[in-house]
Amino acid sequence: MRIYNTRSRMVEDFVPHEEGKVSIYTCGPTVYHFAHIGNLRSYICEDVLVKTLRYTGYKVKRVMNITDVGHLTSDADTGEDKMLKGAKREHTTVLKIAERYTNAFFEDFYALNMAAPDVVEPATHCIPEFIHMIEVLIEKGYAYRAGENIYFDTSKLENYYVLSNGIKEDDLMVGVRDDVDEDSNKRNKGDFVLWFTKSKFDDQELKWESPWGTGYPGWHIECSCIGIKHLGEYMDIHCGGVDNIFPHHTNEIAQSEAFLGHPWCRYWFHVHHLVEKSGKMSKSSGNFLTVSTLKEKGYDPVVYRFFCLQSHYRKPLEFSYDVLDNMTAAFDKLIKRISALKPEGKKDDAVFEEYRNRFAEALTDDLNTSMALTVVYDVLKADTDDATKYALIESFDEVLSLDLLAKASWLNEGTSEDEETIRFVEEKIEERKQAKKEKDFAKADAIRDELLAKGIVLEDTREGVKWHRV
Ligand code: AMP
Ligand code: ZN
């Protein structure tokens, strides 16, 4: 596997810390609003990365946090807590907001056929661990108390800006931008808050006792702490969108390496943004597109995944409905071609291996998803029997996760169901698949019963789950 590493700014051979195993961490959503389709682009690319690693034989453990406290509206440790802002907007509590948008996030996540992370941990569940890490950082001389907060002293590290190419302290706009208050307690402009007790945030709903007074954590500490808690002292890959490079990931490296006393994560994987003609899609602007918007407009969420796979994760991707219409047409055509395959018969193992290798080669070349899709079309054109093509498409879909065979078989069955029912049942099937993966069989059975109550029967077959009316 070759992969671009933001830390070295080079495409590198991937060598995990422990042979055959990969530990991978993803910065999860800040659950104060719906995830937009830009956020979901990052998660789709990360999902393809995880599935590629598994496809090529690695045993992968993936951990994701949920940011439900401490992320302020400005990355410069100022402004309002985003969660509190969300609670005020919807006249409810921070905990309710966190629950509502965590559920909404995973609903979108599964509608886009993403595999559940092995561990999902909300920041508010780890406060004692954060406090411990901050105590160690103070003891080791990397953190200090000033005014009412605890800060990380960035001058104690030789190479604080290791990840953020070209950013220098003077370029940081902290204290010079009109809308950002200068924090006179900081020793250096780049220092960041590990623990807040500032009276300014007295309306903060979530507060905890700490050795430094009642307060709450800064944003960055959660990912260092949750990462080390579940993946140990050496992490192989850390993921996020490019906006996370600075300050979030830069600060994570500072905290983790200061705490551990040795290098922490080797590969930094960053996905470029989904943009619109008007610019980057952003949650804080409040004006953004969600998976629900796409569904309401009649688009299949899986077509959005297909669209994301067409471009390289290291390039910005421009979204427009025109492009999504073209993608829908291209996807329907692809499904139609697959539906014409007759899967019976014996597959040709040599041809199977040849195309499987070509597919894996594309993905292991810094995740060349558009080339991987080309291999799908090459298979359909190949001079071999249908059984081999069918087996290859089934195998590729372990990574692509576009429901290629299931959709082709529905097309063959000529279902007369309306779009909304099809989508509803597909989502339920996906939820059930995830529940089974997580060994939550009670949930999987409950989903089957829920559908049965609506007159829909699920059938587990070799080609995947099929459904029909009672
Ligand atoms: P947030 O919920 O704001 O913490 O962001 C969740 C993830 O989405 C992070 O990895 C961000 O870097 C990423 N992200 C934010 N905006 C975009 C965008 N327009 N395109 C792709 N990824 C994004
Ligand atoms: Zn993070």
What are 249-308's pLDDT values in tens digits? 999 999 999 999 999 999 999 999 999 888 778 777 767 899 999 998 999 999 999 999
Q: Can you say whether the dihedral through the CA atoms of 219, 225, 226, 227 is positive or negative?
A: positive
- Mean residue pLDDT across the chain: 91
14 and 155 within one domain: yes
452 and 390 within one domain: no
**250 CA distance to ligand 1 centroid (A)?**
16
What are 398-428's pLDDT values in tens digits? 999 999 999 998 888 876 667 778 888 989 9
Q: Which atom of ligand 1 is nearest to the CA of 29?
A: 2
Neighbours of 218 (CB within 10 A): 25
What are 310-365's pLDDT values in tens digits? 999 999 999 999 999 999 999 999 999 999 999 888 999 999 999 999 999 999 99
Q: Which atom of ligand 1 is nearest to the CA of 71?
A: 4
* For ligand 1, mutation pick of 75, 101, 243 (most atoms within 8 Å of CB): 243
> What is the H or E stretch that residue 465 is in?
strand 464-469
Q: What size, in residues, is the chain?
A: 470
425 and 403 within one domain: no
- pLDDT higher for 172 or 16? 16
435 and 314 within one domain: no
**DSSP E strands, 287-370:** 317-318
Structure tokens at 82: 């985003």
> What is the H or E stretch that residue 196 is in?
strand 192-196
**441 CA distance to ligand 1 centroid (A)?**
32
Domain that holds residue 456: 419-469
Atom 11 of ligand 1, nearest CA residue: 241
**271 CA distance to ligand 1 centroid (A)?**
9
User: Of 373, 397, 412, which one is at a domain's C-terminal end?
Assistant: 412
Residue 36 CA to residue 120 CA, distance in Å, equals 20
Return the residue matching tokens 């500072």.
Answer: 254
382 and 265 within one domain: no
425 and 406 within one domain: no
128 and 168 within one domain: yes
**Structure confidence at residue 73 (pLDDT):** 74
Structure tokens at 164: 């953020």
Whether 156 maps to a domain, the answer reads yes
If one counts the domains in the chain, the total is 3
**Structure confidence at residue 85 (pLDDT):** 86
Query: Residue 221: pLDDT above 90?
Result: yes
The CATH number of residue 132's host domain is 3.40.50.620
What would the mean pLDDT of 206-215 be, rounded to a whole number?
92
226 and 117 within one domain: yes
- Going from the C-alpha of 277 to that of each of 172, 176, 317, the distances in angstroms are 27, 30, 10
Q: Which atom of ligand 1 is nearest to the CA of 67?
A: 4
What are 286-297's pLDDT values in tens digits? 678 999 999 989
Write out residues with Cβ below 6 Å of ligand 1. Answer: 27, 29-30, 38-39, 41-42, 67, 240-241, 243-244, 271, 273-274, 280-281, 283
- The DSSP code for 95 is H
- Going from the C-alpha of 183 to that of each of 146, 150, 255, the distances in angstroms are 10, 12, 20
Atom 8 of ligand 1, nearest CA residue: 39
Does residue 271 contact residue 42 with C-beta atoms inside 8 Å?
yes
**Phi, psi for 385 (deg, rounded to 5):** -80, 165
Query: Residue 182: pLDDT above 70?
Result: no
Structure tokens at 364: 């292991």
The CATH number of residue 353's host domain is 1.20.120.1910
